[in-house]
Amino acid sequence: MGASVELLTQDWLDAQREATRDLPVRPGASARMEYRVSGGPDGEVVFHTVLEDGRIAESALGPAEPEPDFTVLVPYDDYVAIIRGELDQNVGFMQGRVKVTGNIGRMLSVLPVTTSPEWRAAADDLLARTSF
């Protein structure tokens, strides 16, 4: 199963990337995303993720360079609820708890990947090792 990793650290982002390594290839499901998680124990955490064909190719703390396709703004408590599977990210978006700026079409094009059963299974495996 692997060692425990703390949420929103580089180790956690690396573990997330590793967890998606063997997911099915989804041609065209690619995007450069930036996340801004506010109100957490360490204040705002900014990280970026590059999704290529349905798998995380890159994920690191700090803003996306070059500019992201879209940016996700989410409060820490809601981010934790999404990670735990307690809040569907679509519902969070529709309720205004999760905000997205930038190319909404690109965000919608990768949403089926990040809400797929395979992705959820990988996320659950990582969740079992995540410390909050």
Kindly report the CATH number assigned to the domain that includes residue 34.
3.30.1050.10
The number of angstroms, rounded, from the C-alpha of 43 to the middle of its chain's C-alpha atoms is 18
Instruction: Indicate whether 129 belongs to any domain.
Output: no
Residue pLDDT, tens place only, 66-84: 999 999 999 999 999 999 9
User: What is the predicted pLDDT for the residue at 1?
Assistant: 57
Instruction: Indicate whether 115 belongs to any domain.
Output: yes
User: What is the predicted pLDDT for the residue at 90?
Assistant: 84
pLDDT, average across residues 20-25: 94
**What is the percent of the chain with per-residue pLDDT over 90, rounded to a whole number?**
90
Write down the mean pLDDT value for the chain. Answer: 94
Q: What is the rounded CA–CA span in Å between residue 83 and residue 43? A: 18
What is the number of domains present in the chain? Answer: 1
The residue range of the domain holding 26 is 5-124
Contact at 8 Å (CB) between 29 and 54? yes
User: What is the predicted pLDDT for the residue at 114?
Assistant: 86
